[in-house]
Chains A and B, each alone.
Chain A
Amino acid sequence: MIAEVGHYALILALGVAIVQTVLPLIGTRLRDPQLTAVAVPAAQAEFILIGFAFLALMTAYVTSDFSVANVWQNSHSAKPMLYKISGVWGNHEGSMLLWVLILALFGAAVSTFGKNLPRQLQANVLAVQGSIAVAFLLFIIITSNPFMRIDPAPFDGEGLNPVLQDPALAFHPPFLYVGYVGFSMAFSFAVAALIDGRIDAAWARWVRPWTLAAWMCLTLGIAMGSWWAYYELGWGGFWFWDPVENASFMPWLAGTALLHSALVMEKRDALKVWTILLAIITFSLSLMGTFLVRSGVLTSVHAFAVDPERGVFILAIMGVFIGGALVLFAWRAPLLTQGGLFAPISREGSLVLNNLLLTVACAAVLVGTLYPLALEALTGDKISVGAPFFNLTFVPLIVPLLIAMPFGPLLAWKRGDLLAAAQRLTAAAVVSLAVIIVVLALHQNGPWLAPLGIGIGVWLIVGAATEIAYRVKMFDASGEEVWRRLRNLPRAAYGGALAHAGVGVMVIGLVATSAWREERIVALAPGGSVDIAGYQLTFKGVAPRIGPNYRERVGTFVISRGGSQFTVLHPSKREFTVERSTTTESGIHNGWRGDLYVVLGDQLKDGAFSVRVYFNPLVRLIWIGALVMFFGGAVSLSDRRLRVGAPKRARTKAAMATGGK
């Protein structure tokens, strides 16, 4: 019964979404305040209805109702509760439902917290959001209904792919989707501005917090996926330049560019047309990510052609929204007035460079991801585009960006002084050079580019600190004055510096683990041992163990250093009985120099076990860097100016009381 109610709620939501799209658009055209005002309750009702449908599906999962086909295909009664819940979005139908739920959540947020938005803008934004909801609700109801029943109901379910039964992966999709779908806010605001033919600095101030929140979640979502790959896939890789990773990375690159260009628009009223276009591009890339992942086109162009229903539907959605927005852009963008002028060497100029390099880097990823698909579809030739391609095209674009990064915040708006900025960065340059020399001395036969990479990471961190030091006059003013300035510095400044420093932390981790990773592949019999990076591992043997829904063979490795034992690692191989597949659980010891990573392989013919041991220096800095970036975003988001959202000073207090977090 609950499934039918959920199904019904979904259809009602479709009706409400149609109302939310059509009436406000007519209202704003006719300047009818009552029709315009429909947008607000409609968006809230849509969220409640989709939320209800989602809870209905979740109930079916939690109670293991195998008469619902979706539950039967993706769950099992013996599965731990966490994975019964995450199973809701661990499949195509459920994940699309989560997608529209988040879309409706953002719509409801705009209608509830957007009281300080001009009525017209708010109604248009909600109408555009509503139209996206209409498209995706139709998609779900027609091609991917999660509430289908089967009769008679099977006795038990088929289970969830074991590699996905993991805490990091349980929360990875929701964060990723908040990121993807969050960019729909920037898109809706852009389209609303185009419909209005009017845009100003306040627009950017409203858009920025939504984009920032989406960006933060996408950052965290991508980092979680990468962290999961690192410990679950059993060889310590963290990024594969795989099409699905690229599908989430492209909106991230474009979204990062959007955050920066919206900054120019907010502060200087410049780059308006470009910012609007970038907002459209960013969400288009999110849609494309959904298409790539959901249509099956990546598995093979051929498979897509055989069962094209879903793929063609999403392709049509993409065509309508991307095409429609671009046509609207071409038609209306010339109406938008140009804003402030600036010299090439200025804060604006540096942000233009940021946008140039980020969007071209994004284009490089796009070409590398789509080219093999296009080539196969057009000529039938199959080629592979893997990591070596991206290392040759993407990295050379990002390195100059990283080197230029500390300069940006030190340049003044309108007209900056590059020489003065360079002087302020002398300390950062000296520290980085010193680090490069030390690292070179320590690794005389290592890859010669790696010390430079570490130097860039240090340059970013010290450069970010320099910005704060300079802004509070750390070395020029009295202690009291510095303290006062530290307290008065807007949180957005701290947030930006933190995020930049986070990039530096990540770069150090990426470079160190790529350059100085150590590896031992050995056959070990119980009692045997292997040395790596100053550690000695002694293999004690393998014992069986029974888990909730798997059986495993657990290896025991005693780790010692300098003769004294200090920890024991238990890598294992799990056999999931229901799903009939195995996973590898690596044993990881996290030391301050890096991770010791042990993987237990198969038993060889002579009774010994194949064992792989890695030492991944500083690898955790990759994810710590991502966390610092996320935290930087959060600090920036807590800035009063963003929280209030609107430039209306008088309403600040009221808005904080009702709308602020």
Chain B
Amino acid sequence: MSARRLLEILALTLAMGLAAVSPSHAVQPGEVLQDPVLEARARALSEGLRCLVCQNQSIDDSDAPLAKDLRVLVRERLTAGDSDDEILDFVVARYGEFVLLKPRFTPHTWLLWLATPVVLLAAAAAIIFAHRRRNLATEGPKPLTANEKRRLKRLIGEG
């Protein structure tokens, strides 16, 4: 398949709003661990690991051979008794930060993680500020003084 053709298929699929071009078969019967607790951990870990040769698919959903290798690797480390963090460290050491679908909070992702809360606070502050300013700008009529109230009462009484 030529690069141009590939690009077009991608572009099209992109237009379709979905990226996973190939149908996936993902986890194969032979891979499943006997211990259900370990298997559940393996699935949870797999969902957070990216299939490196696919578009935004986790290795849990992908049928690419590389994804299979990673799934088996995760399960090997699990049976060897590694903790979840140790396994993630191990995978990142081998394949780089790119493999994590949830980027770690490091200096080069500070902006990524903090942008949303900062935008929320800034927008909320802007709304409060705009509201205050408008209230000041268009203050309603001042309440009547005691004197005026007395006069008003007298006038109504007379009317």
Contact = CB atoms under 8 A, between A and B. Distances in A.
Interface of A: 73-74, 90-92, 95, 158, 161, 163-164, 169, 172-173, 176, 221-222, 225-226, 228-229, 232-235, 237, 240-245, 247-248, 292-294, 296, 298-299, 303, 307, 338, 341, 344, 352, 356, 359-360, 363-364, 367-368, 371, 375, 379, 381-389, 392-393, 397, 521-523, 581-584, 599, 601-602, 604, 610-612
Given A360-B123, A383-B109, A521-B32, A367 B116 contact: yes
A164 B16 contact: yes
Contacts of A382: 96-98
Interface residues of B, number: 57
Contact of B11 (A73, A92, A599): A92
Contacts of A95: 12, 15
B112 interface: yes
Given A176-B17, A389-B103, 10 more contacts: A299-B7, A299-B55, A341-B138, A360-B119, A367-B115, A382-B98, A386-B101, A389-B101, A521-B32, A612-B25
Contacts of B11: 92, 293-294, 296
Interface in B18-68: 18-30, 32, 47-48, 50, 55-58, 61
7 contacts: A240-B57, A367-B112, A386-B58, A386-B101, A388-B101, A604-B29, A612-B25
B142 interface: no
Contacts of A242: 18-20, 55-56
Nearest to B56: A242
A120 B50 CA distance: 54
B88 interface: no
Contacts of B29: 521-523, 604, 610-611
A73 B2 CA distance: 11
A359 B48 CA distance: 27
B19 to A, nearest CB: 4
A229 B43 CA distance: 21
Interface string B3-19: 00101111111111111
Contact of B19 (A161, A240, A294): A240
B27 A383 contact: no
Interface of B: 5, 7-30, 32, 47-48, 50, 55-58, 61, 96-103, 108-109, 111-113, 115-116, 119-120, 123-124, 127, 131, 134, 138
B34 to A, nearest CB: 13
A344 B128 CA distance: 9
A388 B105 CA distance: 13
Interface centre among B30, B55, B57, B101 (most CB of A within 10 A): B101
A386 B57 CA distance: 9
A285 B150 CA distance: 61
B66 to A, nearest CB: 15
B75 to A, nearest CB: 13
Nearest to B32: A521
A599 to B, nearest CB: 7
A424 to B, nearest CB: 26
Contacts of A612: 25-27
A384 B98 contact: yes
Contacts of A338: 134
B10 A602 contact: no
A582 B19 CA distance: 16
Interface centre among B13, B48, B138 (most CB of A within 10 A): B13
A381 B119 CA distance: 24
Contacts of A610: 25, 28-29
B112 A385 contact: yes
A356 B17 contact: no
Contacts of B23: 163, 232-234, 582-584
Given A95-B15, A384-B101, A389-B102, A379 B28 contact: no
Contacts of B56: 240-243, 384, 386
A604 B109 CA distance: 43
Nearest to B102: A388
